[in-house]
Chain A
Amino acid sequence: MPAPESKEPKMDNKDEKMTDADTVQKPKSPEEITALVLNDIKQNFVFLDKAAVNFEPRFSMRVLRGLGNLRRRLTPDILVSTVDAAYPSPSHKSAALILKYLGKEESTMEVDESSSDSSTPVVLPEIDIYVLVLLQVYLLDQGDLVKLNSFNDEAITILRGYNRRTLDALAAKMWFYYAYGKELNKQVVELRPLLLAVLRTSTLRHDTETRAMLTTLLLRNYLHTQAISQAHQLVLKVDFPESAATSVVARYLYYVGRIKAIQLDYSAANESLIGAIRKAPQTSYAAGFLQAAHKLKVIIELLMGDIPERSWFREPMYEKALSPYMDLVKAVRIGEVPQFSDTIEKYGAVFKKDGTYMLILRLRQNVIKTGIRMMSLSYSKISLRDICIRLHLDSEESAEYIVAKAIRDGVIEATIDHEKGFMQSKEILDIYSTQEPNMAFHERIKFCISLHNESVKAMRYPMNQHRVELKNVEEAREREKELASEIQEGDMEDDDGDFDGL
């Protein structure tokens, strides 16, 4: 069975990374599990500290990557202990907020309040926001939307009080869950002015992560309410920072691809989607996104006139999700309109849920074109009446007009003889004598060059390492000089020896 096989190697990786968290293999007592999770969270605090001190965004990214794993193991008790560990006293604003939402106010109120008078150690904002995000995720997973939304409002007010660049990645995450909560609560339209205002602020502050995330959230918002021209305007006017996290860039490219597809710019849409699929993580965690992206890609390829490869549909991750699309591809390939209409009716609800229904309706003309193309390729001469019958068209007149249009669009190479009522195909031209191979090569070369440039730009060198290298280089040079001088002296001695020999 393909599915479990693909999961097991990933499980092994997880075990290697967290040798102390054997919770996957061996069931442990609840206290031990709690202790292990707390350990992980405290480790994350250390990372966040390092990130703030060294201005290295990579530590925050690492912490956030662990968020997906952590969220499955959160319980109210763990969160309470986290609050104790993170905040010096429960009277701290965020601590009080979190405890309120966990419903645990009374139990921890006994802690001494005298500590609030003495100089309390300042809580690192990163840790503050991180714990707030943990609670957001927890409330979301509990499905408690009302609590989530009111918590979000207060958490966002805390977030906007800070203005630190090291908070960028965490802030972006918080905004994501905020917007998602509102979307689930159907408060989509009211969200827009706020998102736009925060986008302006983050652009002024050069806050790339938040900017990227907010642009993506706004696009999602517009597409949700079908306000496509507004989404298009946003894409045109806002510069998307390409240096943001790849997951956000992948989402952005997907939305851009969607907008372009609706506006009939299929080749640009295809490029965006290919970029989105490449940038998305290829693991099973991103399955939902990859499935959605692949569905859209299939439709766009069909609209461009290409048939997508069958090998995709067989991959275990996509098989079930893409099976209606596979039927669709089959119908388009055969070129028969009744079968196409049947497929649409059968899977209509699925397509509407995926939001691809309107795009699929456009495929009707592609079906007819494919049908005509097959006729033209297989028959050198075919009467219009036969075309009409085979393609299930309504009348011979329509058939004639449709074939004429197909010829004009370049779908087939043929001529029509009106009086005798038939279509005659032209001879097939040798493709190597045209420009086609040259252009195909050009496209591929262009792509490889851009890939090469991007890889060179993305290479990272640890800072100050080159100074160490320089030192090494200097030492090496000195050694070389010594060697060279030794060799020279050695040579002269030998020469003397030779003379003697003679």
Chain B
Amino acid sequence: MPQKSFETRARELASAFAAKDYERCSHLLPQLKVTLSQLNILVPRLSSDLELLAVARDILEIGALTAIFLRDDLLFSRYIAQLSPFYAMKDKIQPPSSNEKKVIALRLLLLLSKNDIAEFHTELETLEDEADKDVYIRYPVMLERWLMEGSYDKVWKATTQRSEVPAEEFAIFADILVDTIRSEIATCSEKAYPSLPLMNAKHLLFFTEDADLVEFIDQRGWSTKDGRIYFPQESTDPLESGLPMENIIENTLGYARELETIV
């Protein structure tokens, strides 16, 4: 009996997700997870029933995608953690998941938006070749490359123009990414330009409204004068900062101590 209602509920979940009724999905999911753990397939082991594992994996994937639409990062990370043993066993579970690449790509995008580059690369290592072949995974990989290089205009185009984005879930990250780019550009501009006219600044920072620009300037603490922005200059003259006496003294005392220590 529990088996039957499990299948019907699984189908209900799938249809709710297809209808984009995410509230209902998030309502159905916890009950389904309980059933999964009762059937012993929440954590895949070699002893579990392989067919049911495929169903379990699909359910968890729907859960992950729902979390994205509901913009709940923690929930998404939790689903990913539960999905990773499934993906590790992917040779054994048939049929292969159609959503797998999308979910992995979304995870990469999440790491990128949080600026967790070390984790990003670690995850990428496990993927090896697929970065070039799969359209979903290519998206965050290219974004990361452009961000590192500094071609922010490409990043801008990729996130905001709908034609570039491979699936709607990715579009949700657009806002976070745009904020990240803006702060990056702002930091670069501070160092690179002595001063900048307001019109150009608006263009560089991808603002459409003047009001947004003014707000941003206030946030960063820049000063404006005659329609130009002046960035705070740091004094880079090394002689001004005086001799680094403490440092030298500390080092030399260290050497003396090491030499005299009886090892």
How far is B189's CA from A368's CA once the two chains are assembled, in angstroms?
19
Contact (Cβ within 8 A) A226 B154:
no
Q: Distance in Å from the Cβ of A366 to the closest Cβ of chain B?
A: 10
How far is B144's CA from A364's CA once the two chains are assembled, in angstroms?
12
- Please name all residues of chain A whose beta carbon is closer than 8 Å to the beta carbon of B190 when the two chains form the complex: 408
Contact (Cβ within 8 A) A394 B192:
no
0/1 interface trace, chain B 176-190, chain A, CB 8 Å (1 if under): 000000001101111
Q: Does A15 lie at the interface of the complex (its beta carbon under 8 Å from any beta carbon of B)?
A: no
Q: Distance in Å from the Cβ of B109 to the closest Cβ of chain A?
A: 18
Q: Distance in Å from the Cβ of B93 to the closest Cβ of chain A?
A: 16
Contact (Cβ within 8 A) A407 B192:
yes
Q: Does A403 lie at the interface of the complex (its beta carbon under 8 Å from any beta carbon of B)?
A: yes
Tell me the A312-362 residues at the B interface (CB within 8 Å): 352, 357-358, 362
- Please name all residues of chain A whose beta carbon is closer than 8 Å to the beta carbon of B193 when the two chains form the complex: 404, 415-418
Contact (Cβ within 8 A) A407 B263:
no
Take A418-B200, A434-B238 as given contacts and tell me if A358 and B128 are in contact as well, using a CB distance cutoff of 8 Å.
Answer: yes
How far is B261's CA from A263's CA once the two chains are assembled, in angstroms?
36
Q: Does A26 lie at the interface of the complex (its beta carbon under 8 Å from any beta carbon of B)?
A: no
Q: Distance in Å from the Cβ of A455 to the closest Cβ of chain B?
A: 9
Q: Does B9 lie at the interface of the complex (its beta carbon under 8 Å from any beta carbon of A)?
A: no
Contact (Cβ within 8 A) A433 B192:
no
Q: Does B76 lie at the interface of the complex (its beta carbon under 8 Å from any beta carbon of A)?
A: no
Take A395-B153, A418-B200 as given contacts and tell me if A407 and B122 are in contact as well, using a CB distance cutoff of 8 Å.
Answer: no
How far is B121's CA from A461's CA once the two chains are assembled, in angstroms?
49
Contact of A264 among B121, B154, B238 (CB under 8 A): B121
Take A402-B150, A403-B192, A456-B263 as given contacts and tell me if A262 and B255 are in contact as well, using a CB distance cutoff of 8 Å.
Answer: no
- Please name all residues of chain A whose beta carbon is closer than 8 Å to the beta carbon of B192 when the two chains form the complex: 403-404, 407-408, 414-416
- Please name all residues of chain A whose beta carbon is closer than 8 Å to the beta carbon of B218 when the two chains form the complex: none
Q: Does A235 lie at the interface of the complex (its beta carbon under 8 Å from any beta carbon of B)?
A: no
Contact (Cβ within 8 A) B251 A263:
no
How far is B239's CA from A438's CA once the two chains are assembled, in angstroms?
15
Q: Distance in Å from the Cβ of B209 to the closest Cβ of chain A?
A: 21
Q: Does A285 lie at the interface of the complex (its beta carbon under 8 Å from any beta carbon of B)?
A: no
Q: Does A398 lie at the interface of the complex (its beta carbon under 8 Å from any beta carbon of B)?
A: yes
Q: Distance in Å from the Cβ of B159 to the closest Cβ of chain A?
A: 15
Contact of B149 among A405, A419, A434 (CB under 8 A): A405
Take A226-B126, A457-B263 as given contacts and tell me if A404 and B149 are in contact as well, using a CB distance cutoff of 8 Å.
Answer: no
Contact (Cβ within 8 A) B191 A398:
no
How far is B111's CA from A15's CA once the two chains are assembled, in angstroms?
60
Q: Does A406 lie at the interface of the complex (its beta carbon under 8 Å from any beta carbon of B)?
A: yes
How far is B121's CA from A406's CA once the two chains are assembled, in angstroms?
21
Q: Distance in Å from the Cβ of A233 to the closest Cβ of chain B?
A: 12
Contact (Cβ within 8 A) A263 B150:
no
Take A226-B125, A262-B121, A401-B188 as given contacts and tell me if A415 and B238 are in contact as well, using a CB distance cutoff of 8 Å.
Answer: no
How far is B192's CA from A408's CA once the two chains are assembled, in angstroms?
7
Contact (Cβ within 8 A) B197 A453:
no
Q: Does B259 lie at the interface of the complex (its beta carbon under 8 Å from any beta carbon of A)?
A: yes
- Please name all residues of chain B whose beta carbon is closer than 8 Å to the beta carbon of A164 when the two chains form the complex: none
Contact (Cβ within 8 A) B239 A433:
yes
Take A226-B126, A264-B118, A264-B121 as given contacts and tell me if A398 and B255 are in contact as well, using a CB distance cutoff of 8 Å.
Answer: no
How far is B200's CA from A358's CA once the two chains are assembled, in angstroms?
38
Tell me the A259-276 residues at the B interface (CB within 8 Å): 262-265
Contact (Cβ within 8 A) A405 B194:
no
| 11 new A-B contacts at CB < 8 Å, known A262-B125, A352-B128, A368-B149 | A263-B121, A402-B151, A403-B150, A405-B184, A405-B188, A408-B188, A416-B192, A417-B193, A418-B200, A419-B200, A445-B255
A to B CB contacts below 8 Å, 18 in the list? A227-B126, A358-B124, A365-B145, A365-B149, A401-B151, A402-B150, A405-B150, A407-B191, A407-B192, A408-B190, A408-B191, A414-B192, A415-B193, A417-B193, A418-B200, A419-B197, A449-B255, A453-B263
